Structure 1
Amino acid sequence: MGWLSGARQADYARRDLDVLAGRLASAGVSTTALDPARLAEIDQHAAAVRDILTSEGGTAGVVELAAYAQGVLDAAAEAGWTPESHTTASVESTTNWIVLRLLAVCALTDSSPAGDVPDIDPLLFT
């Protein structure tokens, strides 16, 4: 029954990432109003995140993306940054990196298949 806990993990991870996207949007940060240069930066961050998560045979599924985003948020919180404290006028390079990295994770989540469930039993589909 490991697949059931995997499905639950994926649901929780997707919920956490939806909350993150909502927090970013509430802070005025989203990809909808970005110029092409910023979108290209987000694409580069997304590629970097995907490379980090898959470098040693891992996957870039929703559970891994949520864990990665939480790590970024934890490090940012230690530096005193939260999505709610972010201002769109801020151009500090660290803040900019955090925002771009989190937007990249959200973009990867949006492109992640809905059935992205870790530890699923392949015999269920035979």
Structure 2
Amino acid sequence: MRRGFFVECPLARLSFDFGQFGLLAAREDPGVTAELDQHAAAVRDSIERDGTRLTRSSLTHYLHGFVDGCRERGWDSDGVDYDWETLRLLAICRLAKEYGFIR
């Protein structure tokens, strides 16, 4: 099995648990798709700002930091709408899939 495809990978768990419904729904809404593109670009820029490459490890590290920040602020998605945090998580899922870090 290729690296990044095992079930213990946080990116795979996020994609499986959270990303599937959002990415499918976003394809139907051009506005959400555009927002996801912007979030994905922001994540990529944030990771690459200091010369770090976008890898499974760097994206996982970003994910952990982002989720920790969400927890510290007490964020909880109501699942009704795409808030900023939900869009950022979906963008992380998209990047992980686009770069082949998950299936």
TM-score range, shorter chain: 0.7 to 0.9
Q: 2:38 aligns with which of 34, 40, 44?
A: 44
Tell me the C-alpha RMSD between the 2 structures. Answer: 2.7
Listed as ranges, the gaps of 5+ residues in structure 1 are: 1-6, 115-126
Matches within 5 A, 1:30-109: 30-34=22-26, 35-81=29-75, 85-90=76-81, 96-109=83-96
1:21-32 residue pairs with structure 2 within 5 A? 21-25=15-19, 29-32=21-24
Please tell me the residue identity of whatever aligns with 2:98.
Answer: S
Cα contact 2:63–2:92 (8 A) shared by 1 = yes
Alignment check: 8 A CA contact 2:5 2:12 kept: no
**Rg (Cα) greater in structure:** 1
| Equivalent-residue separation in structure 1 for 2:51 and 2:81 (angstroms) | 37
Instruction: Verify the 8 A CA contact 1:29 1:88 in the aligned structure 2.
Output: no
1:45 deviates by 0.5
TM (normalized to structure 2)? 0.78
- Alpha-carbon offset, residue 74 of structure 1: 0.5
Query: C-alpha separation between the residues in 2 aligned to 1:46 and 1:79?
Result: 22
1:33 Cα deviation from its structure 2 partner: 1.0
Displacement over 4 Å in runs of 4+: none
Q: Is the contact between residue 47 and residue 54 of structure 2 (CA under 8 Å) also seen in structure 1?
A: yes
Q: Which 5+ residue runs of structure 2 have no aligned equivalent? A: none
CA distance in 1, matches of 2:41, 2:98: 13
